[in-house]
Structure 1
């Protein structure tokens, strides 16, 4: 098989350049019903995690210890629900924004602890957090409301999916929580966003997770369409043409599109729409895309193969500069703002462990930062759930 070089990376020809068309049978074929638990982590993945932790294997044992000691997994946490969460730019004002995000992540932390240890106290704590919000929250307001619903909705859907489908003691108010997700979160998420791409990608990630939890095929398919439109418009490949692809539903071209890409005019494989803003935001956008792809994978839709070359180029390009590759003068005026954070275990695991792609820069970056903790927004403990996990 011929191969294509992207930067210093060898990518199988089947993954480079042209991507699988979304309308091909292999791209749309899927089971008639949803697999549960099936939001970001599957039952088989958790089985691998339990076995690694029980055997004291690294990095899973250290990652588990990190989760267990995280204040978000504390059994003494008190939920702080609000009727309306108001989030301004950069969450200022922060009227319940941080509380909602961290309560959602805490519920997910507890759900993971339950899944790994079998200690029902953690499941009960997750239920307490989710019930507190489902009995109170009516809406979101402010400039960052779409982003906030994405961040929090992603955490809630992961926690709720694990508890509903693995906790034998049951969850009496699960239907009320489902109503909250359906009425308070999902409508706004499916509208998408014209802001920077990390917004629409985390919104899409949350929408996919919520749709799975609700067994809502129509919403799942709408979220898939959003993902398939937004990902190619966020990570550039030369096969896209001389200009980046426009965000779906909100056309941009010419000077407006260049401005949207923060003035970057020279385009190379792996460049992100927010690369010249800062690596932190582009890392969040990439990771949200990876989360959505993994949820879809569990549900029988292989988005990874559709965009493997694009993902690999994006990871290696940014991981290289994050770890010391000199920044050329044509890239972001010769200077980038680093900070890829607690991300990319999911992407590396899918591309390397499952698809066999060699991503040396990404691996070096991840190994220097393991175990990955939480960003306090929408991502948490992914070394534990996704490092070298073939399930």
Structure 2
């Protein structure tokens, strides 16, 4: 797939690739030379940064754009996704800077120009010299960025205004060309453990309710103890490669079932105190962390990393500190095998329009980022998932998932015109993200005036058999962002009962005391919630919420 832009009208190959040649052999189209590689060796470690201009004190900002050839500007520093740049050292002192807001792998680009004053833009990552920058330490905590194509410096144009475009200019070393790289971590964060879907207080409540024989906790516990995945006879089936996608010889269900077995046996241990179940959970997770080498397949590998990633992280969080559990090995697996797949998808969207993929695709990967970040005490990864929830450009962000408010209590879900199975799945994934964040002290449930509750109430109401209003949904699809629309709500799989609702009721009604009539009606139909089993779709959620989330 190719595209063209810029004065040279050059052909561009889409997709990130490493630098193939040394600086001396780049064969640059521009006429100016760049500073030596020795001058700019690894000036900045790979990572995610905000870039603050010395002249204006403002941050480099992609101005909330998700399209090619749009200007990169500056804005008052607030640290949100439009101001976050993934800095990647590609060798020979050259870096790419990727705009995290853009929703695809869009890089800081000089627009194929050799002229002073030419706008610096974002363009789909391609590995060419227009997107290669040398980062040179100029002292005082500042760096300058020199474009490999033109030899000119990134410059704020002597402006102090929000929204002012950035440009390139002959290197003069002034404050307009000096940038401070501020790591997104911005300091340390102490994570709560256990603190993903379940805290110690949650486990204490479960134990007390089951021992007292109270419903619905006991009923859900009985479903857990009857589950095939929760038995001591379960044998893990770790694979060097797990694949998902038609035509890829997919085997992801081996992982999915082992993930649920690890979670369910861990849960049985937490409630019963029987160490045999803890040993079984550890056996499963150690087997996978010592065997797995790759997540593969087609684009559906993003679903594998997203859905199974956050679930597996939750099992590990429950077994943290248990003798014999190789937590470090498991964390390495999550960071090296799962997170890169989720991160790549959230940045690249398989080279499609940022609104191409349905909400559930993004939400699974956002949940995995939050889960991995907390499990591994990695603040930037954790915050990457939350920041996309708050301000992301794609359909998993809260403003796009619950994209239209018919009233303060009914918000139309992004997939409602597609089918109800995926709609409910997305609601469950957003709930998981919100619950994990809540247990770390971050209230995504309440973001934007409880917007998620409005979406959950809308979906529950329709799937309980009641009428809801529907606004025509329009989006852009595919590699060329072709316009699409859905004019009516889908009746396909209406009324499906997925075990995702107890978590939502437990928070909004149980913790917050808010009115949730439609969610409550759905929970009454489901109680007691079961776990996975039978059809593959049942492994999309951990379930058992009447045991784990009822309050």
> What does residue range 253-292 of structure 1 map to in structure 2 within 5 Å?
269-292=410-433
Q: 1:301 maps to what in 2? A: 442
Q: 1:163 maps to what in 2? A: 319
Aligned-partner Cα distance in 2 for 1:150–1:138: 17
Deviation at 1:160, TM superposition (A): 0.3
Deviation at 1:279, TM superposition (A): 1.3
Q: 2:453 maps to what in 1? A: 312
Aligned-partner Cα distance in 2 for 1:364–1:29: 44
Q: Say whether 1:120 aligns with 2:282.
A: no
Aligned-partner Cα distance in 2 for 1:43–1:308: 28
Q: Give structure 2 stretches of 5+ with no counterpart.
A: 1-77, 81-184, 473-486, 532-537
Aligned-partner Cα distance in 2 for 1:74–1:378: 19
Aligned-partner Cα distance in 2 for 1:357–1:173: 41
- Secondary structure of the 2:411 match is coil
Aligned residues: 332
| Structure with max Cα Rg | 2
Q: Give structure 1 stretches of 5+ with no counterpart.
A: 1-20, 241-267
Q: 1:211 to 1:269 in 2, by over 3 A?
A: same
Deviation at 1:94, TM superposition (A): 5.5
Q: 1:221 to 1:54 in 2, by over 3 A?
A: same
1:87, 1:95 within 8 Å by CA — same for their partners in 2?
A: yes
2:428, 2:541 within 8 Å by CA — same for their partners in 1?
A: no
1:153 to 300, 303, 309: 309
Q: Which has the higher strand share?
A: 2
TM-score by length of 1: 0.79
1:60, 1:384 within 8 Å by CA — same for their partners in 2?
A: yes
Q: 1:343 to 1:308 in 2, by over 3 A?
A: farther
Q: Say whether 1:178 aligns with 2:178.
A: no
2:287 to 132, 140, 157: 132
Deviation at 1:126, TM superposition (A): 0.5
Deviations 1:189-232 (A, max 9, x none): 23314521101101111111111111111111111112223122
Q: 1:214 maps to what in 2? A: 376
Q: Say whether 1:97 aligns with 2:252.
A: yes
1:79, 1:103 within 8 Å by CA — same for their partners in 2?
A: yes
Q: Which has the higher helix share?
A: 1
1:30, 1:301 within 8 Å by CA — same for their partners in 2?
A: no
Aligned-partner Cα distance in 2 for 1:379–1:207: 17
2:425, 2:540 within 8 Å by CA — same for their partners in 1?
A: no
Aligned-partner Cα distance in 1 for 2:194–2:368: 15
TM-score by length of 2: 0.57
Q: 1:218 to 1:147 in 2, by over 3 A?
A: same
Aligned-partner Cα distance in 2 for 1:326–1:139: 45
Q: Which moved more, 1:298-307 or 1:108-117?
A: 298-307
Q: 1:40 to 1:182 in 2, by over 3 A?
A: same
Q: Say whether 1:365 aligns with 2:491.
A: no
- Secondary structure of the 1:333 match is coil
1:236, 1:269 within 8 Å by CA — same for their partners in 2?
A: no
